[in-house]
Amino acid sequence: MKNLITTLFLLIFLLASCKQNGVESKSTSPPKDLKTVFEKGNGNQTATYDETIAYYKMLAEQFTTITIEEIGLTDSGKPLHLITYSKNTVDWNTANENAIKILVNNGIHAGESDGIDASMMLMRDLATGAVKTPDNLIFSTIAIYNVGGSLNRNSDSRTNQNGPESYGFRGNARNYDLNRDFIKADSRNARAFYEVYHKINPDIFIDNHVSNGADYQYTLTHLFTQHNKLGSATGTYLQNNLQPDLEKALLKRSLPITPYVNVWNGPPESGFSQFMDSPRYSSGYTTLWNTLGLVVETHMLKPYKDRVAGTKAIMEEMIALGTKNMEAIKKARIESFAHFEKSRKYALSYTLDETKADTLQFMGYEPKNDKSALTGNTLLTYDRSKPFTKAVPFYNQYIPGDSITIPEYYVIPSGQWHVIDLLRANRIKMQPLTEDTTYKVGTYRIADYGTVTNPYEGHYIHNSVVLEETVGEVRFRESDILVPTAQPGIRYILETLEPAATDSFFRWNFFDTILQQKEGFSSYVFEATAAKLLAENPAIKKEFEAKKSSNKEFKSDNYAQLEWIHKRSKNYEKAHLTYPIYKIYYEN
């Protein structure tokens, strides 16, 4: 018995000795040197990809509050690394709604490395207790999102940026700008992000960047997701609480911050508008699940050391605000999910309201329009010897535009596997038909559309989409997919499947095969059929003759006339310009 008591005493002593500053260590040996590459350098250096991952692995070995896991695969062939801090063991198979869940993304543009270094230091300070938090925090960070870009290290590609000495490249391993890929998911990175995001279901999302554009006094700017588009209770909370509270907290730390300065080729003192982050962007994507989103934009001309410190300060204050206001944030998200699931209308577009503006006390520099010695033309520059604080209009109100009636279901033919795979990756609930079934559905026809002339992120985006909708019976096959809209992912469903939505799958060329006819005709063969059709359909013939009379070009073009008739005949293929996703509306 005496030996047993002694053994228990020794075990208790060893466990107690693993506690350091109230934080549990995984070994009895003293912590290794916990300084980051950034801290060990001259304030103008950032960690490489390998150094970053090695540092997080070291933290995870030293502290039970830190975990690191590999998730998915990126275009580089390497996985994403997700690092999580929590005082309690996190079970990702549960919702973890007893904690505020914050997800940070770093290095989406790998040359914008401020968040990479700031997050390493913050995770260390959380683990050691240097940054104190209550128990209701799950703080996760993606170490480096653009792995391929980070491995493509150089010192020249960030032409406008003041440090660090070397850094990664904006494009990823396949040269995609990953912050335009969240909805279309051309990259493996985006698919891995889906896994991370839905694993956590964060209440707050932070994406760390560095800005381009005008010169001004601020080191820090914020790009909160557009509150009107976020909408409902979360939009209201973000605009009325989270944003002003963050601004006040940073000001107490002598870190003034302003909204992202959304101007190009002009001085900000004349006013600027809030950036509208559509779902192609990270915070626009997270909006679809009512997450409070923030993009940090440090100013590219400020010293790297100051930018990293400022990024860390923002994350610290967001942690403080999130843990303090967890109940209000959770309540706002619950209300927003309920609001959208019960809605019968949904706005697909938003327009800037130029009649309303807030006033910023903006800290800028006097602009100068001098003659360039190089080009001989006028060049806008800024005089840093003449700082100012001026009242500047800030336009941050957007008006909802086109709205659609939300159906009860979308029906997706099983052949549209690319779309189905993306919905499944975003945890959208779906059910396959067990037998061939006829439904009364709404069917879109693409009446008109435009297409950009230059490629954009691997696509030629469609715009000015004009739709015609008819309602009638359509026979669907066994294994075709029903997608109910009354589910948490309703906004993702609407933003991707409605062709007129800003970042719909249609606009991103997922359905371009319907824009091309597969069957045609030979004029000498079809002319007899065309004549018979006109003879049997006086209304069509009247319209045909009127078009010939009013349009000389049409009258002189034999093929154009026959094509016009062909499109009104039974020979014309139904698939041409018919959008291959259908809508079952609520009966009432």
Query: What pLDDT is stored for residue 588 in this prediction?
Result: 66
Residue type, 228: N
Tell me the pTM.
0.93
Compute the distance between CA of residue 520 and CA of residue 566 in angstroms, rounded to an integer.
9
Q: What is the b/e burial string over 526-557, where b = at least 16 CB atoms within 10 angstroms of the residue's CB?
A: beebbeebbeeeeebeeebeeeeeeeeeeeee
Stretch 19-38: mean pLDDT: 64
> Alpha-carbon torsion 553, 557, 562, 566, what sign?
negative
Token code pair at residue 349: 């577009």
Compute the distance between CA of residue 304 and CA of residue 296 in angstroms, rounded to an integer.
14
Query: What pLDDT is stored for residue 233 in this prediction?
Result: 98
pLDDT class of 17 with cuts at 50, 70, 90: very low
| E runs forming strands in 406-517 | 409-412, 431-432, 437-451, 462-476, 481-484
Give the burial class of 400: count Cβ atoms within 10 A of its Cβ; 0-12 exposed, 13-18 middle, 19 or more buried. Answer: middle
**Cβ–Cβ < 8 Å for 48, 150:** yes
* DSSP state for residue 434 in the 8-state scheme: S
Token code pair at residue 486: 């009354």
Mean pLDDT of the chain: 94
Does the structure show a pLDDT above 60 at 21?
no
**Cβ–Cβ < 8 Å for 571, 562:** no
Which is higher by pLDDT, 25 or 560? 560
Segment holding 210, helix H or strand E:
strand 204-211
Does the structure show a pLDDT above 50 at 14?
no
Stretch 484-508: mean pLDDT: 98
Compute the distance between CA of residue 561 and CA of residue 156 in angstroms, rounded to an integer.
58
Residue type, 165: E
Query: What pLDDT is stored for residue 29 in this prediction?
Result: 53
pLDDT in tens, 427-474: 999 999 999 999 999 999 999 999 999 999 999 999 999 999 999 999
Phi, psi of 365 (to 5 degrees): -125, 150
Phi, psi of 567 (to 5 degrees): -70, -10
Does the structure show a pLDDT above 80 at 328?
yes
Query: What pLDDT is stored for residue 265 in this prediction?
Result: 82
pLDDT in tens, 117-155: 999 999 999 999 999 999 999 999 999 999 999 999 999
Query: What pLDDT is stored for residue 212 in this prediction?
Result: 85
pLDDT in tens, 241-299: 999 999 999 999 999 999 999 998 889 999 999 999 999 999 999 999 999 999 999 99
Does the structure show a pLDDT above 70 at 68?
yes
pLDDT in tens, 196-217: 999 999 999 999 999 988 999 9
CB neighbourhood size of 508 (10 A)? 23
**Cβ–Cβ < 8 Å for 223, 259:** yes
Compute the distance between CA of residue 224 and CA of residue 233 in angstroms, rounded to an integer.
15
**Cβ–Cβ < 8 Å for 120, 56:** yes
Q: How far is CA 136 from CA 50, 102, 103, 229, 326, in A?
A: 31, 11, 14, 29, 8
* DSSP state for residue 584 in the 8-state scheme: E
**Cβ–Cβ < 8 Å for 171, 186:** no
Q: Which residues contact 189 (CB under 8 A, 6 or more apart)?
A: 74, 75, 80, 145, 146, 147, 172, 176, 178, 181
Query: What pLDDT is stored for residue 191 in this prediction?
Result: 98
Q: What percent of the chain has pLDDT over 70?
A: 95
pLDDT in tens, 536-587: 999 999 999 999 999 999 999 999 999 999 999 999 999 999 999 999 999 9
Compute the distance between CA of residue 52 and CA of residue 508 in angstroms, rounded to an integer.
34
> Alpha-carbon torsion 174, 178, 180, 182, what sign?
positive
Compute the distance between CA of residue 413 and CA of residue 411 in angstroms, rounded to an integer.
7
Query: What pLDDT is stored for residue 30 in this prediction?
Result: 54
Segment holding 285, helix H or strand E:
helix 282-287
Token code pair at residue 133: 């938090």
Stretch 173-194: mean pLDDT: 98
Q: Which domains occur in the chain, in start order?
A: 31-342 (3.40.630.10), 358-399 (no CATH), 402-517+576-584 (no CATH), 523-566 (no CATH)
Expressed in angstroms, the distance from the first to the final Cα of the chain is: 77
**Cβ–Cβ < 8 Å for 558, 566:** no
Closest CA to 386 of 265, 267, 241: 267
pLDDT class of 13 with cuts at 50, 70, 90: very low
Closest CA to 207 of 319, 106, 121: 106
Query: What pLDDT is stored for residue 264 in this prediction?
Result: 84
Q: Which residue has the tokens 């008109």?
A: 448
Does the structure show a pLDDT above 90 at 22?
no
Query: What pLDDT is stored for residue 26 in this prediction?
Result: 55
Query: What pLDDT is stored for residue 10 in this prediction?
Result: 43
**Cβ–Cβ < 8 Å for 421, 407:** no
